[in-house]
Chain A
Amino acid sequence: MQKYIFKRVITALITLLVITFLLFWLVRIMPGNPFPSERMTDEAIAAKRAEMGLDDPILTQFVRYMKKVLKGDFGKGTSLFNGAPIHTVLNKAIANSFKIGGIAILLGTFVGLVLGIIAALNRDRFWDVFCSVFSILGVCVPSYVFLIFLQYTFAYKTTLLPYFFDSSQFLKSSIIPSLSLSLFTMSTIARFTRNEMIEVMDSDYVLLAEAKGMYGYKLITRHVLRNALIPIVTVLAPLIVDLLTGALVVEKIYGIQGIGKLMVDAISGEGIDYNYVLALGILYSSLYIGIMLVVDLLYGVLDPRIRISAKGGDQ
């Protein structure tokens, strides 16, 4: 098991390093000049470039940049926020995105699980049909459409909730974005839970347990849920990544200063802010790889079969 964990962690770190380097390299080979060239002579530009170390080999520059990044310093933006240090902007953005995304994940997972379990226990009856219609809707309609709908009904037609995000009344203004973000998670989890539960309930060992006289709550929690829940961990992972990082459109529409909105601002404006693209790229990639790693390891812990096959060597 230790060897397995070690191997996974090392692979993840190498992957991350490769991606970071690629990002860094791509951003550096961009055509264009980091200085307003009309006002500077060629010599001045050359001097400035040398001072900033832009003429050094790319690897030296990369190592220098990474040393700073590891200390939490991403440099300054080129066009956004008048060149304020990126890490201060980023810290606030991360906090906002993670709060909204976190609520959405908790809400989505909980309601999704409950809905899926109810649907599986009432197979082919009302709740099952409701669950499948709901999950179809949740998967087919993008979250920003729900957001627009909620915003229009609850913030524009009636003024029950704020029209835009306002950090001074966090709870009230996080209802609309969290709810609309959670619907996709909710429907995916609900559908998945239902299918897994039904598969387990049809299995021989549950039949055996029933034959031995076990029924009801005990059967469901001890025998069915335990096995049905394991695979859900794997679907949850990409959903978490999506919610923590990919709430882009939702943040843009609802005016939340999160990392998604930062990314939109960095790439969709007139000038593209390379430093933000780089910093956010690194952030997104590490989150993505990190969560995937955690899930992989967790899955190994939960399901002994994975562990055993990993011990047997590279498969």
Chain B
Amino acid sequence: MTDQDFVLLKDRNIETDTNYASMPYWRGVFKRFFAKKRSVVGLVIVAAILVLALLGPVLSGYTYREITSVVDEETGKEVVARGISPRIPWLHKLLGKEDYTDRFADKTFLFGTDDLGRDLWTRTWYGARVSLLIAFVTIIIDVIIGMTFGLTSGYFGGAVDGTMQRFVEVANSVPRLVIVSVLAIFMPKGIGLVIVALLLTEWIGMSKIARAEMLKIKELEYIFASRTLGAGNFGIIFNDVLPNTVGPIITQVMFSIPTAIFTEAFLSFVGVGIMLPQCSVGSLIEDGFNNITTLPYQIVPPIIVLALLMLGFNFIGDGLREALAPKLEDM
């Protein structure tokens, strides 16, 4: 037998079975997520709104509470830019239309101004920023509360689980509106009330998911192995189980964020949410509704932003859910 009888493997053309090759879990999720047109659309929408919410108010040159006005040179009086419909002077010129004749002819108001003379473009994105911030902050806290509660309940089982689940049952049976109305007695109206109301309601869904995951995972061999090697309860819950519940929780977060935004919008509309001169998507819709007969264009931007946020997060949520728990035919 000589060396020639042996051929190095790398020289041969080895075919890998790409169909059934193993793929790291998260890479698979990633791939399946981006394979869906919907998820990508959702992601783009949300990203675009996030960027605009961050940069929009800066780019316009106005602030959310600044009232635009000019001083009349002849009379020396202040003229306020009240109720100006959307205008873009250079585009106007480009289309060959006549110039505006009022005092704000050279100013750009992409979405117009409201009845007090504030730039609506700035206010819309500022409002989107407030709404998103409220949603993110509350949902993050809810995830922490809900996961701790759910994982603990599921892990210990028995009497602990029984008691904790009765508590969830009662908490879940209180309509959100009742919680809000009781809160309105105890707290001043405003952002705080919205955040507390969301904190009190949204953690329940998270805890249910965390508990269900825990019940599934805690029977697996690796948990048994971990315990045999001396891991304590704390270590098992937070080191061994928690990382494996991330997927379903992220999906739930994507569905909770629109709920939070919706709830905030609703509370602000009813008059117990965001207070003036602050604004959010909800309070902007309310402003627009109050002026609907005189300035009908005012209500359009916040509604579109709200609808797009809902759409974007729902698409991402759907995409994630499918990507995390693929059916056989999708693989």
Q: Name A's B-contacting residues (CB within 8 A).
A: 11, 15-16, 18-19, 23, 26-27, 30, 136-137, 139-142, 144-145, 148, 152, 156, 241, 245-246, 248-249, 252-253, 263-264, 266-268, 272, 274, 277, 280-281, 284-285, 288-289, 292
Specify which chain A residues have a CB less than 8 angstroms from the CB of B182 in the assembled complex. Answer: 23, 26-27, 277, 281
Tell me the complex Cα distance, A274–B296, Å: 37
Tell me the complex Cα distance, A133–B282, Å: 24
Tell me the complex Cα distance, A298–B32, Å: 38
Specify which chain A residues have a CB less than 8 angstroms from the CB of B299 in the assembled complex. Answer: 148
Residue in contact with A11 in the complex, picked from B169, B180, B306, B307, CB distance below 8 Å: B169
A142 lies within 8 A of B293 (CB)? no
Tell me the complex Cα distance, A278–B197, Å: 17
B270 lies within 8 A of A249 (CB)? yes
Q: How far is the CB of A116 from chain B (nearest CB, A)?
A: 17
Q: How far is the CB of B96 from chain A (nearest CB, A)?
A: 30
Specify which chain B residues have a CB less than 8 angstroms from the CB of A285 in the assembled complex. Answer: 173-175, 178
Specify which chain A residues have a CB less than 8 angstroms from the CB of B169 in the assembled complex. Answer: 11, 15
Given A249-B266, A268-B271, A280 contacting B181 (CB threshold 8 A)? yes
A267 lies within 8 A of B289 (CB)? no
A284 lies within 8 A of B177 (CB)? yes
A267 lies within 8 A of B181 (CB)? yes
Residue in contact with B185 in the complex, picked from A241, A246, A277, CB distance below 8 Å: A277
Given A145-B303, A156-B293, A249-B266, A281 contacting B181 (CB threshold 8 A)? yes
Residue on B with the closest CB to A145?
B303
**7 intermolecular pairs with C-beta atoms under 8 Å apart:** A137-B307, A249-B266, A263-B177, A267-B181, A267-B185, A280-B181, A281-B182
Is B105 on the interface with A (CB-CB < 8 A)? no
Specify which chain B residues have a CB less than 8 angstroms from the CB of A136 in the assembled complex. Answer: 311, 314
B interface size (C-beta, 8 A) = 34
Specify which chain B residues have a CB less than 8 angstroms from the CB of A30 in the assembled complex. Answer: 185-186
B314 lies within 8 A of A139 (CB)? yes
Q: How far is the CB of A208 from chain B (nearest CB, A)?
A: 20
B181, B262, B310 — most chain A CB neighbours (10 Å): B181
Residue on B with the closest CB to A289?
B173
Tell me the complex Cα distance, A103–B299, Å: 28
Specify which chain B residues have a CB less than 8 angstroms from the CB of A274 in the assembled complex. Answer: 185
Provide the main secondary structure of the chain B interface: helix
Tell me the complex Cα distance, A246–B182, Å: 16
CB within 8 Å: A-B pair count: 104
Is B320 on the interface with A (CB-CB < 8 A)? no
A267 lies within 8 A of B311 (CB)? no
Specify which chain A residues have a CB less than 8 angstroms from the CB of B289 in the assembled complex. Answer: 148, 253
Known: A141-B307, A145-B285, A246-B175. 4 other contacts (CB 8 A): A30-B186, A268-B189, A268-B272, A285-B174
**B174-205 interface with A by 8 A CB criterion:** 174-175, 177-178, 180-182, 184-186, 189
Residue in contact with B269 in the complex, picked from A144, A245, A280, CB distance below 8 Å: A144
B184 lies within 8 A of A272 (CB)? yes
Is B292 on the interface with A (CB-CB < 8 A)? yes
Residue in contact with B178 in the complex, picked from A23, A139, A148, A248, CB distance below 8 Å: A23
B262, B269, B299 — most chain A CB neighbours (10 Å): B269
Is B331 on the interface with A (CB-CB < 8 A)? no
Specify which chain B residues have a CB less than 8 angstroms from the CB of A23 in the assembled complex. Answer: 178, 182
Q: Name B's A-contacting residues (CB within 8 A).
A: 169-170, 173-175, 177-178, 180-182, 184-186, 189, 262, 265-266, 269-272, 285, 289, 292-293, 296, 299, 303, 306-308, 310-311, 314
Residue in contact with B270 in the complex, picked from A15, A148, A241, A264, CB distance below 8 Å: A264
Tell me the complex Cα distance, A156–B291, Å: 13
Given A30-B186, A142-B266, A144-B269, A245 contacting B292 (CB threshold 8 A)? no
Specify which chain B residues have a CB less than 8 angstroms from the CB of A281 in the assembled complex. Answer: 178, 181-182
Tell me the complex Cα distance, A106–B249, Å: 35
Specify which chain A residues have a CB less than 8 angstroms from the CB of B189 in the assembled complex. Answer: 268
A23, A268, A289 — most chain B CB neighbours (10 Å): A268
Residue on A with the closest CB to B282?
A142
B307 lies within 8 A of A272 (CB)? no
Given A145-B303, A253-B289, A284 contacting B175 (CB threshold 8 A)? yes
B181 lies within 8 A of A140 (CB)? no
Specify which chain B residues have a CB less than 8 angstroms from the CB of A27 in the assembled complex. Answer: 182, 185
Q: How far is the CB of B216 from chain A (nearest CB, A)?
A: 14
Residue on B with the closest CB to A284?
B175
Residue on B with the closest CB to A16?
B173
Q: How far is the CB of B274 from chain A (nearest CB, A)?
A: 13
Given A148-B289, A148-B299, A268-B271, A142 contacting B185 (CB threshold 8 A)? no
Residue in contact with A19 in the complex, picked from B170, B181, B303, CB distance below 8 Å: B170
Residue in contact with A140 in the complex, picked from B178, B184, B266, B307, CB distance below 8 Å: B307
B262 lies within 8 A of A152 (CB)? no
Tell me the complex Cα distance, A280–B179, Å: 11
B178 lies within 8 A of A284 (CB)? yes
B262 lies within 8 A of A277 (CB)? no
Specify which chain A residues have a CB less than 8 angstroms from the CB of B306 in the assembled complex. Answer: 140-142, 145
B307 lies within 8 A of A267 (CB)? no
3 closest Cβ pairs, A-B complex: A140-B310, A268-B271, A267-B184
Q: How far is the CB of B173 from chain A (nearest CB, A)?
A: 5
Specify which chain B residues have a CB less than 8 angstroms from the CB of A156 in the assembled complex. Answer: 292-293
Specify which chain A residues have a CB less than 8 angstroms from the CB of B266 in the assembled complex. Answer: 142, 248-249
